[in-house]
Copies of this chain bind each other. A is one copy, B any other.
């Protein structure tokens, strides 16, 4: 099954920095031999996932079948979109939904506002969990032991002068998020950026995803965010959790 892992690595070697690659480039980026990289690229081409002009290889749109399988396999997303859109309409701030994957959060849906300054993170993009409100709320869904394992697996580093990197302080923040049911992170990911997140829970009460609203501190202070953004965010997360429990997919 190693060939399967290698095949996935070849797919992942394509990026904004490397949208088209020669055989040698793929081999270098994945650590495969040229013969190994060629075999995988030809298989991908036969399956329709890769296209080539004979020299340069690029991914085709068929690749989206794989990621789409994930999105469509979660009933939550058909429920989330209208709730998120109504929230953006009300709060006038961008809303994102994310899940936890190891020590990262992965964005699974996003509804931008039409403001000029906005969060441009796309679906599938990753951020570290410890310094984001979505991450703190998702980590709060784990027990303390799992949280500490996660913080140790990928030690926090300061991304701004506000980033909390001390494990005990982070654990306290996460425990607080667990108790109060939300988290506010103020400029720990990026100077000027503030965000609030709340958990989405399934029937069994497990946190399966989180919703956030993010804004600019120069427009929305932490105090204003808590007064004006938190109530609609909590309502939206609650609505979505309830619909999920009821299994409404329409």
Contacts and interface: CB of A to CB of B under 8 A. Distances in A.
Interface of A: 1, 3-5, 7-8, 11-16, 18-20, 39-40, 42-43, 47-49, 58-75, 77-78, 81, 85, 89, 99-102, 106, 108, 112, 114, 120, 122-125
A16 B106 contact: no
A66 B123 CA distance: 11
Contact of A1 (B39, B71, B73): B39
A81 B19 CA distance: 18
Number of copies: 2
Q: Give the one of A7, A8, A43 with max B CB within 10 A.
A: A8
Contact of A61 (B14, B63, B108): B108
B123 A73 contact: no
Nearest to A249: B16
B75 A70 contact: no
A64 B124 contact: yes
B14 A69 contact: yes
A47 B122 contact: no
11 contacts: A1-B7, A3-B3, A7-B8, A11-B66, A12-B65, A12-B66, A14-B69, A62-B106, A64-B67, A65-B124, A67-B67
